A and B are shown apart, each in its own frame.
Chain A
Amino acid sequence: MSLLLEIENLETRFKINDGIVHAVNGISFNLERRETVGIVGESGCGKSVTMMSILGLLPQPPASISADKIIFDGEDLTKYKAEELRNIRGDRVSMIFQDPMTSFNPVLSVGKQLMEPLEMHTTMGKKESVELAEEMLAIVGIPDPKRRLMEYPHQFSGGMRQRLMIAMALICDPELLIADEATTALDVTIQAQIIDLVNRLKQKIKMSVIWISHDLAVVAGIADRVIIMYGGTIVEEAQVDMLYENPCHPYTIGLLNSLPKGVDNEKRLQPISGMPPILMEKPDFCPFKERCEQAGTCDHDKPPKLININDQHRVACWMNM
């Protein structure tokens, strides 16, 4: 397998009135072709900002982005101009968002919105575009595509709208699909449908997927590899089975423990005490220090580095060094 995406030392900061928020602090990871990576973390851990930085979706200023390398399919995106990035977005890289209602324009028919990427990125004629759009609707499981194309977003339910988002994201055959909390706003039954759909489509289209979520259970069903983020850094990264069988970072262990297991309601849930850090300063120690139960023998003066436990498992924690 070859690398599709290579990121080295990405940093993103936001300038706000009170100072600077260090949202992403030097993260590096790779994505192979046809691989699905899950990125998991709490709100504010920098998972969405990472993706938006890569795609150039953040206005600069207030954001400032720096990276040693952002290589997509052999090309360095850090050297790209805004227009060149626009040519990649929606064509070779697509993104689906959390809220399927606000991601659509309510006054345009879904057909028009669905065909917009084709207008932007291909020379396809009107008739062909319509045919392809109908085909995409059928693929994502929306019945009666001819009629549905003329309808407007409010005429679709939440689950259907998320299917439309997926159809729109996939219409140009992207090499990479980024799903940002794509099922969080949906019912569990609809979530199961969407995950099943994405799992089938990624076999069919042969694309890579980055699946961002705060729910470890959802990621277990879709990812080959999982990255756990905390305070703008990667704290653990592992092949999916290894992560769930042998979680090494106290934060990962804490996340797994705070999920209810089975129906044993005598046992208390074990939450992680405290709250995620406010990243007004670049942390010069382990970002999880304040909530960590095992913190003690750690070297508090510098943040731990990601080290390999084996070739498919990396963790950033002083306890594992």
Chain B
Amino acid sequence: MLDEYVRPRMEQQKIILEVKNLVKHYAVNKGFIFQRKSGAVHAVDGVSFSVFKGETLGLVGESGCGKTTLGRCILQLDEPTGGEVVYKGKDLVKIPSEEMRRIRRDFQIIFQDPYASLNPRMKVLDIVAEPLIVHKLVLKNEIEPFVSRLLETVGLSSSFIHRYPHELSGGQQQRVGIARALSSQPSIIICDEPISALDVSVQAQVVNLLKDLQEEFNLTYIFIAHDLSMIRYIADRMIVMYLGTIVEIGESIEVKNHPYTQALLSAVPHPNPKKERERERILLEGDVPTPINPPSGCRFHTRCPKVTPECSEKIPEMKEIAQGHFVSCLLYNK
């Protein structure tokens, strides 16, 4: 099945990372002293996709759909329960941690909360230089000029070098986070909701910066977000996740076929009051079900506006409805 995902664009583009049937379950324990396993949170349940070199791959879904866990599993920050993450011909899940540490240089992550992800007791210089020291990338006396140049690349004045994180605004803190991610010259950056904590006008600044850096350094982004309007703007391809599984994957503009994607799209408010009033809205009832006991059949059937009796029994397969565009819904399985 995986080959199908990959084939359409394989001729033109090089695959940089492959995720095969990735599973992550967290054990749920009962009892205080004599803990026993009573179940598992199915955070990520059999997810497969490929990432092409130089693209931005969007990862969207509501909170609790497993998008952050997936990102952490790719980086091996959480150990997956099963599946493979293939990078440069090696399965990152299986390689020894010593080797992983060396490879991790190629992967970086930018977090949602810029303040919480910077050590308050470290100066900007030390924060940005840490990956350089850990991976022994730059000679000691070259560190400071190197960091200054990095700060200028992300649009900060090099005078910030001796400041502490609390002296900076949210947008500036996020730029420091980006500079730190760039310092080890990675090839893949996972952006975990990097703009949702920022003001609208600053969001646009950071998004433009990320786009410029991508062009300059030929970076590959895996961009996690719950805001569809921004992600459709940033990402080349997009994965929509629901309760630990992929429901739709394809070119960002084309992704609109799964009933869940449609509901997400219709929930995005439009900055025009007239269009907002006329717009047809699909309101999803209730919340995401608990991933400890995901619904049978299609996991979305409990909230789906187009539900049929079949949906609670049959698990839908990934169906290619156009080149490189897959939907997991019984409506398209016929």
Q: Mark A257-292, 1 if CB is under 8 A from B, else 0.
A: 111100111001111110110000000000000000
Question: Within 8 Å of chain B (Cβ to Cβ): is A220?
Answer: yes
Q: Are B267 and A214 in contact (CB under 8 A)?
A: no
When chains A and B are docked, how far (Å) is the Cα of A216 from the Cα of B199? 11
Which residues of chain B have C-beta atoms less than 8 A from A254's C-beta? 201
Q: Mark A167-203, 1 if CB is under 8 A from B, else 0.
A: 0000000000000000000011111110110000000
Q: Are A255 and B281 in contact (CB under 8 A)?
A: no
Question: Within 8 Å of chain A (Cβ to Cβ): is B93?
Answer: no
Nearest A-chain residue to B198, judged by Cβ: A43
Knowing A196-B283, A214-B200, A259-B229, the reply to whether A188 touches B268 (Cβ < 8 A) is yes
8 Å CB interface, B68-111 against A = none
Q: Are A272 and B269 in contact (CB under 8 A)?
A: no
Question: Within 8 Å of chain A (Cβ to Cβ): is B230?
Answer: yes
When chains A and B are docked, how far (Å) is the Cα of A240 from the Cα of B266? 21
Question: Within 8 Å of chain B (Cβ to Cβ): is A221?
Answer: yes
8 Å CB interface, A5-55 against B = 42-43
When chains A and B are docked, how far (Å) is the Cα of A158 from the Cα of B171? 26
Nearest B-chain residue to A254, judged by Cβ: B201
Nearest B-chain residue to A192, judged by Cβ: B267
- Which of A43, A218, A255, A263 has most B Cβ within 10 Å? A263
Question: Within 8 Å of chain A (Cβ to Cβ): is B145?
Answer: no
Q: What distance in Å separates the Cβ of A61 from its nearest Cβ neighbour in chain B?
A: 23
Which residues of chain B have C-beta atoms less than 8 A from A259's C-beta? 200, 204, 229, 271
Question: Within 8 Å of chain B (Cβ to Cβ): is A241?
Answer: yes
8 Å CB interface, B189-214 against A = 199-205, 207-208, 211
Q: What distance in Å separates the Cβ of A191 from its nearest Cβ neighbour in chain B?
A: 7
Question: Within 8 Å of chain B (Cβ to Cβ): is A159?
Answer: yes
Nearest A-chain residue to B290, judged by Cβ: A157
Q: Are B200 and A263 in contact (CB under 8 A)?
A: no
Q: Are A265 and B252 in contact (CB under 8 A)?
A: yes
When chains A and B are docked, how far (Å) is the Cα of A260 from the Cα of B228? 10
Q: Are B234 and A265 in contact (CB under 8 A)?
A: yes
Question: Within 8 Å of chain A (Cβ to Cβ): is B169?
Answer: yes
When chains A and B are docked, how far (Å) is the Cα of A268 from the Cα of B204? 9
Which residues of chain B have C-beta atoms less than 8 A from A159's C-beta? 287
Question: Within 8 Å of chain A (Cβ to Cβ): is B135?
Answer: no
Nearest B-chain residue to A159, judged by Cβ: B287
Q: Are B170 and A43 in contact (CB under 8 A)?
A: yes
When chains A and B are docked, how far (Å) is the Cα of A180 from the Cα of B202? 20
State the interface size on chain A (CB cutoff 8 A).
44
Question: Within 8 Å of chain B (Cβ to Cβ): is A160?
Answer: yes
- Which of B226, B266, B277, B287 has most A Cβ within 10 Å? B287
Q: Are A192 and B283 in contact (CB under 8 A)?
A: yes
Question: Within 8 Å of chain A (Cβ to Cβ): is B41?
Answer: no
Nearest B-chain residue to A191, judged by Cβ: B267
State the interface size on chain B (CB cutoff 8 A).
43
Which residues of chain A have C-beta atoms less than 8 A from B226's C-beta? 187-188
Knowing A187-B62, A187-B226, the reply to whether A217 touches B271 (Cβ < 8 A) is yes
When chains A and B are docked, how far (Å) is the Cα of A160 from the Cα of B63? 14
Question: Within 8 Å of chain A (Cβ to Cβ): is B276?
Answer: yes
Which residues of chain A have C-beta atoms less than 8 A from B266's C-beta? 192
Which residues of chain A have C-beta atoms less than 8 A from B63's C-beta? 158, 187
Knowing A159-B287, A187-B226, A260-B232, the reply to whether A271 touches B208 (Cβ < 8 A) is yes
Within the complex, which residue of B202, B228, B252, B287 is in contact with A271, where a contact is CB–CB below 8 Å? B202
Question: Within 8 Å of chain B (Cβ to Cβ): is A244?
Answer: yes
When chains A and B are docked, how far (Å) is the Cα of A216 from the Cα of B276? 12
Q: Are A244 and B271 in contact (CB under 8 A)?
A: yes
When chains A and B are docked, how far (Å) is the Cα of A255 from the Cα of B199? 10
Q: What distance in Å separates the Cβ of A262 from its nearest Cβ neighbour in chain B?
A: 8
Q: Are B270 and A188 in contact (CB under 8 A)?
A: no
Which residues of chain A have C-beta atoms less than 8 A from B268's C-beta? 188, 217
Which residues of chain A have C-beta atoms less than 8 A from B287's C-beta? 157, 159-160, 190
Knowing A271-B204, A271-B205, the reply to whether A244 touches B232 (Cβ < 8 A) is no
Q: Are A192 and B199 in contact (CB under 8 A)?
A: no
- Which of A42, A158, A260, A272 has most B Cβ within 10 Å? A260
Q: Are B284 and A189 in contact (CB under 8 A)?
A: yes
When chains A and B are docked, how far (Å) is the Cα of A141 from the Cα of B271? 27
Knowing A265-B252, A269-B233, the reply to whether A215 touches B200 (Cβ < 8 A) is yes
Which residues of chain B have C-beta atoms less than 8 A from A101's C-beta? none
When chains A and B are docked, how far (Å) is the Cα of A88 from the Cα of B76? 54
Q: What distance in Å separates the Cβ of A183 from its nearest Cβ neighbour in chain B?
A: 9
Q: What distance in Å separates the Cβ of A271 from its nearest Cβ neighbour in chain B?
A: 3
Which residues of chain A have C-beta atoms less than 8 A from B270's C-beta? 217, 220-221
Question: Within 8 Å of chain A (Cβ to Cβ): is B55?
Answer: no
Knowing A159-B287, A196-B283, the reply to whether A275 touches B169 (Cβ < 8 A) is yes
Q: Are A220 and B269 in contact (CB under 8 A)?
A: yes
Q: What distance in Å separates the Cβ of B93 from its nearest Cβ neighbour in chain A?
A: 30
Question: Within 8 Å of chain A (Cβ to Cβ): is B264?
Answer: yes
Knowing A255-B200, A273-B205, the reply to whether A265 touches B233 (Cβ < 8 A) is yes
Q: Are B252 and A263 in contact (CB under 8 A)?
A: yes
When chains A and B are docked, how far (Å) is the Cα of A42 from the Cα of B169? 12
Q: Are A220 and B272 in contact (CB under 8 A)?
A: yes
Could you pull out 13 A-B pairs where Cβ atoms are within 8 angstroms? A42-B201, A157-B287, A188-B228, A188-B264, A189-B267, A192-B281, A218-B269, A220-B273, A244-B273, A270-B204, A271-B205, A272-B204, A276-B199
Further pairs besides A43-B170, A255-B200, A258-B204: 7, Cβ < 8 Å = A42-B200, A188-B267, A220-B276, A221-B277, A254-B201, A258-B203, A265-B232
Interface residues of A (CB under 8 A from B): 42-43, 157-160, 187-193, 195-196, 214-218, 220-221, 223, 240-241, 244, 254-260, 263-265, 268-273, 275-276
